[in-house]
Structure 1
Amino acid sequence: MDFAFEAGTLPLLISMPHAGTGIPADIAATMTPAALRKADTDWHLRELYGFARELGASTLAAHWSRYVIDLNRPADNANLYPGQDTTGLCPLDTFAREPLYQPGRAPDEGEVRRRLALYWQPYHDQLRAELDRLLHVHGRVVLWEAHSIASVVLRFFEGKLPDLNFGSADGASCDPALTERVTGIAQEDGHYTIAINGRFKGGHITRTYGRPDAGVHALQLEMCQSTYMNESADDPAPFGYRPDLAGQVQPLLRRMLAAAAGWAGKGGTA
């Protein structure tokens, strides 16, 4: 299975392209111990967004690790942040610059093409199909790109990230009114720091599928993992889910998602 998918009833699709931990055996045999730790996974997002079914949202979560192929990078491997360091379509190192592959065993061009067909394309086909279904039913839809990351990754940014990082491709991937509605709820909550189109403006999925003129409004949320889990390999329970922390942020997530779906259902005017 290339992904976990559940169809909902609301004009809302939650996509989790970096939640996967699967690595096929033939690829794992070429990798380093650092790769097999899968530290850069968006850990536990399916559990964190576990209320989505009750809410009525559609959900799509990757099975394969981003180390196999990154579902949130374009097929041509173009840098989404020109001039800035970033990992690619088939990354060669971890966020901490640890090599992912044993010497001489990194994927060549043919292997990248193979992974595109086998592991990248099925996720995007399902994503497109569900957006089309929801558009047919509702006339417009919100694509919520769910991500998480360690709060401190010095390779990409200085200091600690804000807790909640919203990205709309600088306003191109969704109606600004939707961003204002959702981020306003986060600001009113007051328990978490936020940024809007800061270090994270939205990746390939947000920028590609977010087409407000066609009825698809895409908004990415990159959460600090410190808001819901042990984010360090040095923690007593490395990368462990923290129900105590998650239980504090989940009500806010639910309010934001419900508002996004309500906004779409009312024609984007509320």
Structure 2
Amino acid sequence: MSPVNVKEGDGPVILGLPHAGTFVPPEVAQALNERGRALADTDWHVDQLYDGLLPGATYVRANFHRYVIDANRDPAGVSLYPGQNTTTLVPLTDFDGEPIWNQPPSTQDIAAQQAAFHSAYHAALAEQIARVKARHGVAILFDCHSIRSRIPFLFDGVLPDLNIGTNGGLTCAALVQDAVWQACEGSEFSAVLNGRFKGGWTTRHYGQPEAHVHAIQLELAQSTYLTAEEPPWSYDSDKALKLRGLLRDILISLADLAPSLNTNPKGTS
């Protein structure tokens, strides 16, 4: 299986999907324990949720699971959230803080998995950003994520439905952040801007507004589109219909912003 699927579009928006994949190489699966092999921390069906929402969008999807290696973590192993519970480049625990390995990966294992999977995903993503920017003068990376709404190991209480991350406004123009925030804030869903999730390594690494590359992450509570946040992690078409309408509006608004961002990378009025 290819580590990455790419669907090229002719528009200015790129959808990144680093955590929707479930492929685990046999040698990695053998080293995981029963809890790890359950793959509970998948961004379940998030690719289905976004499918077909924006004509002309480019899709870059990692096919491998985050337990193999996390495509949204710094390859140098630097924590995204110093001082807070989180998972690492190759997680040793799941989101509940429970061990997922019978035989944890060695330094050599991690290096091999990084070369085969993490590097492949980011090579594909960087190539698409360069292609889209060459065509439009600007590229807008929308990083698509989802997570269970209750995970005490990672955060207190219940996560808002929509969690927008721009690393405090550093990864995109104000126009981009405002467009997404206003749509979310005005919806029927609860929303927060730069709360517990401020944008992962992908958003922070590629988001360079001064260079006409804008990146923004949306972390969805899985309660917004799954029947239940537990196995078998079923997609709920009725719930998803409402959410897909909002996501479609957001993505269209971002595509419409691209010409103004091309002339004004800061995106201020």
What is the TM-score normalised by the length of structure 1? 0.94
Match of 1:101 in 2: 101
Report how far residue 238 of structure 1 moved.
Answer: 2.4
Unaligned 5+ residue runs, structure 1? Answer: none
The root-mean-square deviation of aligned C-alpha atoms, in Å, is 1.3
Distance 2:46 2:9 in 1: 18
Match of 1:214 in 2: 211
Distance 1:175 1:157 in 2: 28
Match of 2:238 in 1: 244
Report how far residue 89 of structure 1 moved.
Answer: 0.2
The answer as to whether partners of 1:167 and 1:197 remain within 8 angstroms in 2 is yes
The answer as to whether partners of 2:223 and 2:229 remain within 8 angstroms in 1 is no
Unaligned 5+ residue runs, structure 2? Answer: none
Matches within 5 A, 1:190-205: 191-205=188-202
Match of 2:258 in 1: 264
Count of matched residue positions in the alignment of Structure 1 and Structure 2: 263
- Secondary structure (helix, strand or coil) at the match of 2:31 reads coil
What is the TM-score normalised by the length of structure 2? 0.95
Report how far residue 98 of structure 1 moved.
Answer: 2.2
Match of 1:39 in 2: 40
Report how far residue 231 of structure 1 moved.
Answer: 4.0
AA aligned to 2:222 is: Q
The answer as to whether partners of 2:162 and 2:190 remain within 8 angstroms in 1 is yes
CA deviation vs aligned residue, 1:117-144 (integer Å, no higher than 9, x gap)? 0111000000000000000000011100
Distance 2:199 2:157 in 1: 20
AA aligned to 1:76 is: A
AA aligned to 1:79 is: S
CA deviation vs aligned residue, 1:41-76 (integer Å, no higher than 9, x gap)? 000011101124x52100111100000000000111
The answer as to whether partners of 2:165 and 2:198 remain within 8 angstroms in 1 is yes
Identity of aligned residues (%): 37
Match of 1:229 in 2: 226
The one of 174, 184, 187 equivalent to 2:185 is 187
AA aligned to 1:262 is: D
Report how far residue 232 of structure 1 moved.
Answer: 2.6
The one of 139, 144, 147 equivalent to 1:146 is 144
AA aligned to 2:17 is: M
AA aligned to 1:22 is: F
Distance 1:20 1:152 in 2: 22
